[in-house]
Each structure stands twice: as C-alpha cells, then as structure tokens.
Amino acid sequence: MENETNLKERRKAYWRANLRILTILMSIWFVVSFGCGILFVEPLNQIKLGGFKFGFWMAQQGSIYVFVPNFPNKILKLTLVQPIHRYFTKGPSCTFCYFFQH
C-alpha cells in the first residue's frame, strides 16, 4: 500500500513537471508567433532580411522556427526530469532513447 501511494505521488510530481515544461515552451512559441507577427511587426519591419521586411518574415516563418525545436527541447528536458522523479513509462528507459533505439 505504501509503495502504491509513493508511486502515485511520483506520478503526480512527474506530470506537474511535464506540464510546467510544456507550458513554458508553448508560452515561448506563443509570444514569438503572436508577438512578432502581430504586436511587434512595425518595429521589426525596419529590419530587412533577404529583401523582405523582418516583421513579415517573422509572421510567416518565425513561429515555425521556434515551434519545431521545441520538440527535441521537450524530449531532452523530460529525459532529465524522469530520473529525478524515478518515474519511467513502459518501454525504453528514457524518452530520448526511444528515437535512437532502431
């Protein structure tokens, strides 16, 4: 019974850490996509990149350049969080290892 309670506590702590990481990464993505594409577009348009205004470029491409690296970043952070909470899912010993086992 004590082991089961301990496991539940570790699961809760792990998912709190998981949600905290996800919230931070998605907030960064939102600020870049919404902020640079809409709110800060006028100051960014003063900069030229490849003949285009930087504000236009950030609105079109900037959010994807931030969103895509969020996946490996999240995987790496969760790989570091799992041993701390001693919580592993079935399968490979870590999330990051899953992609390199084949």
| pLDDT 10s digits, 9-68 | 888 888 888 889 889 988 988 888 888 888 888 898 898 888 888 888 887 788 888 888
With bands split at pLDDT 50, 70 and 90, how would you rate the model's confidence at 94? low
pLDDT score at 91: 52
In whole angstroms, what is the distance from residue 50 CA to residue 47 CA? Answer: 10
In this model, does residue 87 exceed pLDDT 70?
no
- Residue 4: both structure tokens together: 């089961």
What is the length of the chain? 102
E-only strand ranges, the chain: 48-49, 52-53
Q: How far apart are CA 83 and CA 37, in angstroms?
A: 38
